[in-house]
Amino acid sequence: MNTEQDIESKIRGTVEAQRAFFGTGTTLPVKWRIAQLKRLRDAVIAHEQEFEEALSKDLGRSRVEAYLCDIGPVITEVNEIIHGLRRWARPERHFSGLMCFPSTLTKVYKMPYGVTLVISPFNFPILLTLGVVAAAMSGGNTVVIKASSKSSYCTAALKKFCAEVFPPEYVTLIDGGHDVADMCLAQRFDKIFYTGSPSVGKHVMAEAAKNLTPVALELGGETGNWAVVRKDADLKDTARKIAFFKLLNAGQVCININQVAVAEEVAEPFLEELKKSFASQIGERAEENPEYPKLINGRAWENCASIADAYRDRIVYGGTGNRDSLRYSPTVIYPVNKDEEIVMKELFCPLLPVVPFKDNEADALMDTIEGREHPLAMYLFTKDMKWANRVMRTRQFGGGCINEVCVHMMVKGVPFNGTGHSGMGAYHGEWGFREFTHPQTVLKGRTFFNLSLREHPYGGRKEKAKLRILRLMER
């Protein structure tokens, strides 16, 4: 059995080996990076069945959901990077400006940070590991992965995958619990990317600050993501989409709907449509349906069940579960006040509080949401596009949809992440490349026609002339 000192020594040796490998310059050529990304993509396709089986064991995923949520998006992400990387990595050329004369050319190089640490979560263990790894690789970095100990089968599959596909001095995976994560954080990395809860995100930042390591955080949002349903919304379509999303991964999704605010004028018909949608998609007793995902472990199941029990008298749908299979049915709780405890935290389970509001007070509701920690996602359902567009362009949140759920993160070429307690930084496609590179500005000087304008003396006879020329150049 490895002792704590053995594990620390191994982690330190891994970081040192990656730093030495990065120092050789092997990762810098774009052609080499593209070759590695193609290798990653082809290996994901070759290991598809292993990943599907691991996702089934950890999260109860069906084959379709495993591919829809984890495997397929990784392949799509890597393909996008391969197709765009040459263009993204090309140095930018800028005119140096009159103030820099006689220099005329300045370049901005997109330089890799170096040795990076990717700390990935349990809920989408393949996507949120390899998708981030692909972004780090695109920037020319080496990668140490600390995968979640909760999704143990996926972590084991990923560890085997990395060892088969890449040398450890380039990409490697370290498994273990929070103690091992802290051992990783104790090392000096050049960039850290963490996906998980805001509370752990604060700890990651604090540890990174000791080495002044830049950090990107993808967090779920402390007070959860809202869906707001106005009275003019298409209730059947809205309910269908919300039901689909709440069933996805049994609610263990960082951009999932934590609570629904529905105009009280249409609350009852909306609830009826929601119940129908859940029943038609997963059956009356979801916990008995083998296609329905499970919660990650007993602790998560107990937490879900205890919250449901506390609101037992207001459960209008669901409220049943199977401890042995770790499945808990989608559960609608109504009515819930916007200030109750259940809507003041991220639930990360299939519970769905429904908050009624007066439709003519929608702006006041949005003010309340804005006054809390920024959510990772926002979903609006309405035919009033003027109102919806105004809300979306004036409120702070990670990203969102109007009359849709979740698919904003599947659009190519756009960034994904939150702000404040829901995250910092951004990735996907070119945004991931930017996140894992430092823009480095280099001016090319000349050895002739150098003016004495910037040199002493500044006073005397030359003062007025120099000021006149400087002010002319700065216009």
In the residue annotation, 254 being an active-site residue is answered as yes
Given phi > 0 = left and psi -120 to 50 = alpha, else beta, which region is 150? alpha
Q: What is the pLDDT of residue 165?
A: 98
Which CATH code, of 3.40.309.10, 3.30.43.10, 2.60.120.10, 3.40.30.10, is assigned to 226-414?
A: 3.40.309.10
The one catalytic residue in 254, 304, 401, 406 is 254
Q: What is the pLDDT of residues 303-341, one digit of tens each?
A: 999 999 999 999 999 999 999 999 999 999 999 999 999
Q: How confident is the model at residue 265 (pLDDT cuts 50, 70, 90)?
A: very high
Reference 243, options 292, 281, 287, 289; nearest CA is 281
Q: What percent of the chain has pLDDT over 90?
A: 91
Predicted confidence at residue 78, as pLDDT, reads 98
Name the average pLDDT for the chain. Answer: 96
Q: Read off the pLDDT band of 110 (50, 70, 90).
A: very high
Q: Say which residues have a Cβ less than 8 Å from residue 348's Cβ, sequence separation at least 6.
A: 123, 220, 251, 252, 256, 300
406 catalytic per annotation: no
Domain positions in the chain are: 4-220+424-438, 226-414
pTM of the model: 0.96
Checking if the pLDDT of 347 tops 60, the result is: yes
Dist. CA 206–CA 139, nearest whole Å: 25
Q: Are 426 and 416 in contact (CB under 8 A)?
A: yes
Per annotation, catalytic residue among 8, 52, 65, 218:
218
Best CA proximity match to 236, nearest among 265, 257, 264, 266 = 266
Q: Per residue in 18-45, pLDDT tens?
A: 999 999 999 999 999 999 999 999 999 9
Tell me phi and psi for residue 43, to 5 degrees: -70, -35
- pLDDT score of 260: 98
CATH second-level architecture of 4-220+424-438?
A: 3-Layer(aba) Sandwich (3.40)
pLDDT at 1: 56
